[in-house]
Structure 1
Amino acid sequence: MASSQQRFSSYPQAREGPQTTSTYAEESIPPLRGWPLVLAANAVTRLPFLAGVTWTNARFGGIKDIPGLEQYDYRFHVGYQYSTDDSELSRLAVTSELFPPQPEDLVGRFYSTSDYHELYKTGKLTPLQVAKALIPLISREHAGKYVSAWTDTHAEAVLAAAKASTERYRQGKPLGLLDGVPVGVKEDTDVAGYTSYYGQRPEPSDPAFVPATKSLWPVAQLQAAGAVVVGTLAMHELGSDVTGCNPRRGSPKNWYNTSYYTGGSSSGAGSALSAGLVPIAIGTDAGGSIRIPSSFCGMYGLKPTLHRTHAMKSSICVIGPLAATTADLTIAYRLMTAPNPDDAIQSSFAPSIPPSPSAKKTIGICRGWNDRASSAVSKSTQQAIDYFVGKLGYSVVDINIPYLQEGQWAHGAWALAEALDHLRSRLRGRSSYSINHCNEILMTVSGCTAATDMIKYSQMRALLMEHLAFLFKKYPGLLIVTPTVPEAGWKIHPGDEAYGFSDANLTMRMMMYIWLANSTGCPAVTVPVGYAESEQGEGKLPIGLMAMGEWGAEEQLLSWAAEAEGYLNGALDGGRVRPKEWADVVRLAGEVDLESS
Structure 2
Amino acid sequence: MTLPFLAKVAWTNANFGGIQNIQSLEQYNYNLHPVVTPLIADGTEAPRLPITPELFPRQPEELAGRFYSSADYHVLYKSGKLTPLQVVKALIPLISRDQGGKYVSAWSETRVESVLAAAKASTERYHQGKPLGLLDGIPMGVKEDTAVEGYTCYYGQRPEPSDAAFEPATKSLWPIAQMEATGAIVIGTLAMHELGSDVTGCNPRRGSPKNWYNTSYYTGGSSSGAGSALSAGLIPIAIGTDAGGSIRIPSTFCGMYGLKPTLHRTYTMKSSICVIGPLAATAADLAIAYRSMTAPNPDDAIQSAFAPSVPPSPSAKKTLGICREWVSRASPVVRKSTEQAITYFAEKLNYDVVDIQIPYLQEGQWAHGAWALAEALDHLKNRLKGQYSSLNHCNKMLVEISSCTTAADMFKYSQLRALLMEHLAFLFKKYPGLLIVTPTVPEAGWKVHPGDEAYGVVDSNLTLRMMMYVWLANSTGCPAVSAPVGYDEPEQGEGKLPIGIMAMGEWGAEEQLLSWAAEAEGYLNDAVEGGRLRPKEWADIVGLANEVDAESS
Same fold at TM > 0.5:
yes
Query: Does residue 483 of structure 2 align to residue 527 of structure 1?
Result: yes
- Give the 3 Å change call, closer, same or farther, for CA 253–413 of structure 1 in structure 2: same
For the 8 Å contact 2:388–2:396, the answer to whether it is kept is no
Q: Deviations over 1:500-537 (max 9, x none)?
A: 01100100000000000000000000000000000000
State the one-letter code of the partner of 2:467: M
Describe the SS at the equivalent of 1:46. coil
From 28, 31, 34, give the equivalent of 1:78.
34
TM-superposed CA distance for 1:431, in Å, is 4.2
For the 8 Å contact 1:83–1:349, the answer to whether it is kept is yes
Query: Does residue 326 of structure 2 align to residue 365 of structure 1?
Result: no
From 9, 17, 21, give the equivalent of 1:65.
21
From 496, 500, 503, give the equivalent of 2:456.
500
State the one-letter code of the partner of 1:331: I
From 285, 300, 304, give the equivalent of 1:347.
304
From 89, 94, 109, give the equivalent of 2:47.
89
Residue in structure 2 matched with residue 225 of structure 1 by the alignment: 182
Residue in structure 2 matched with residue 305 of structure 1 by the alignment: 262
From 555, 567, 586, give the equivalent of 2:523.
567
Q: Deviations over 1:403-447 (max 9, x none)?
A: 0010000000000001111111102x4544420111011000100
State the one-letter code of the partner of 1:89: P
TM-superposed CA distance for 1:87, in Å, is 6.0
Q: Deviations over 1:362-381 (max 9, x none)?
A: 00000010011111111111
Residue in structure 2 matched with residue 181 of structure 1 by the alignment: 138
Describe the SS at the equivalent of 2:195. helix
For the 8 Å contact 2:38–2:507, the answer to whether it is kept is no
Q: Deviations over 1:98-124 (max 9, x none)?
A: 111111111100000000000000000
Pairing 1:372-411 to 2, within 5 Å after superposition: 372-411=329-368
Structure 1 distance, partners of 2:111, 2:492, is 36
TM-superposed CA distance for 1:83, in Å, is 2.2
From 312, 328, 331, give the equivalent of 2:285.
328
Structure 2 distance, partners of 1:435, 1:139, is 25
From 455, 458, 480, give the equivalent of 2:436.
480
Residue in structure 2 matched with residue 130 of structure 1 by the alignment: 87
For the 8 Å contact 2:37–2:507, the answer to whether it is kept is no
Structure 1 distance, partners of 2:417, 2:389, is 32
TM-superposed CA distance for 1:76, in Å, is 0.2
Describe the SS at the equivalent of 2:23. coil
Structure 2 distance, partners of 1:252, 1:465, is 36
Residue in structure 2 matched with residue 31 of structure 1 by the alignment: none
Query: Does residue 410 of structure 2 align to residue 439 of structure 1?
Result: no
Residue in structure 2 matched with residue 424 of structure 1 by the alignment: 381
Structure 2 distance, partners of 1:431, 1:374, is 41
Structure 2 distance, partners of 1:440, 1:388, is 45
For the 8 Å contact 2:480–2:502, the answer to whether it is kept is yes
For the 8 Å contact 2:248–2:440, the answer to whether it is kept is yes
Structure 1 distance, partners of 2:413, 2:386, is 30
Q: Deviations over 1:35-62 (max 9, x none)?
A: xxxxxxxxxx423233222211111100
- Give the 3 Å change call, closer, same or farther, for CA 537–431 of structure 1 in structure 2: closer
Q: Deviations over 1:120-139 (max 9, x none)?
A: 00000000000000000011
Q: Deviations over 1:191-213 (max 9, x none)?
A: 00000000000013311000000
Pairing 1:106-255 to 2, within 5 Å after superposition: 106-255=63-212
For the 8 Å contact 2:428–2:434, the answer to whether it is kept is yes
TM-superposed CA distance for 1:468, in Å, is 0.2
State the one-letter code of the partner of 2:276: I
- Give the 3 Å change call, closer, same or farther, for CA 247–354 of structure 1 in structure 2: same
Residue in structure 2 matched with residue 20 of structure 1 by the alignment: none
Structure 1 distance, partners of 2:386, 2:482, is 40
TM-superposed CA distance for 1:388, in Å, is 0.2
Residue in structure 2 matched with residue 457 of structure 1 by the alignment: 413
State the one-letter code of the partner of 2:13: N
TM-superposed CA distance for 1:571, in Å, is 1.2
For the 8 Å contact 2:256–2:484, the answer to whether it is kept is yes
Q: Which runs of 5+ in 1 are unaligned?
A: 1-44
Structure 2 distance, partners of 1:493, 1:51, is 24
Residue in structure 2 matched with residue 489 of structure 1 by the alignment: 445
Query: Does residue 498 of structure 2 align to residue 542 of structure 1?
Result: yes
Structure 2 distance, partners of 1:327, 1:548, is 18
Residue in structure 2 matched with residue 471 of structure 1 by the alignment: 427
Q: Which runs of 5+ in 2 are unaligned?
A: none
Describe the SS at the equivalent of 2:137. coil
Residue in structure 1 matched with residue 372 of structure 2 by the alignment: 415
State the one-letter code of the partner of 2:83: T
Structure 2 distance, partners of 1:430, 1:355, is 48
Structure 2 distance, partners of 1:180, 1:81, is 33
Structure 1 distance, partners of 2:332, 2:377, is 36
For the 8 Å contact 2:380–2:386, the answer to whether it is kept is no
State the one-letter code of the partner of 1:570: D
Structure 2 distance, partners of 1:278, 1:359, is 34
Q: Deviations over 1:336-371 (max 9, x none)?
A: 100000111100000001111111110000001001
Structure 1 distance, partners of 2:458, 2:527, is 39
For the 8 Å contact 2:140–2:237, the answer to whether it is kept is yes
Residue in structure 2 matched with residue 552 of structure 1 by the alignment: 508
Task: Provide the identity percentage.
Answer: 79
Describe the SS at the equivalent of 1:97. helix
Structure 1 distance, partners of 2:430, 2:279, is 31
Structure 2 distance, partners of 1:266, 1:86, is 36
For the 8 Å contact 2:200–2:221, the answer to whether it is kept is yes
For the 8 Å contact 1:283–1:322, the answer to whether it is kept is yes
Describe the SS at the equivalent of 2:53. coil
For the 8 Å contact 1:301–1:329, the answer to whether it is kept is yes
Residue in structure 2 matched with residue 6 of structure 1 by the alignment: none
Deviates more, 1:563-572 or 1:115-124: 563-572
Structure 2 distance, partners of 1:176, 1:166, is 13
State the one-letter code of the partner of 2:541: V
For the 8 Å contact 2:141–2:239, the answer to whether it is kept is yes
Residue in structure 2 matched with residue 55 of structure 1 by the alignment: 11
TM-superposed CA distance for 1:70, in Å, is 0.8
Structure 2 distance, partners of 1:548, 1:80, is 15
For the 8 Å contact 1:88–1:353, the answer to whether it is kept is no
For the 8 Å contact 1:302–1:523, the answer to whether it is kept is yes
Structure 2 distance, partners of 1:88, 1:310, is 19
Structure 1 distance, partners of 2:387, 2:393, is 17
CA RMSD of aligned residues (A): 1.0
State the one-letter code of the partner of 1:256: Y
Q: Deviations over 1:8-44 (max 9, x none)?
A: xxxxxxxxxxxxxxxxxxxxxxxxxxxxxxxxxxxxx
Length-normalised TM-score, structure 2: 0.99
Query: Does residue 239 of structure 2 align to residue 282 of structure 1?
Result: yes
Deviates more, 1:75-84 or 1:488-497: 75-84
Q: Deviations over 1:546-594 (max 9, x none)?
A: 0000000000000000111111111111100000000000000000011
Q: Deviations over 1:212-243 (max 9, x none)?
A: 00000100000000000000000000000000
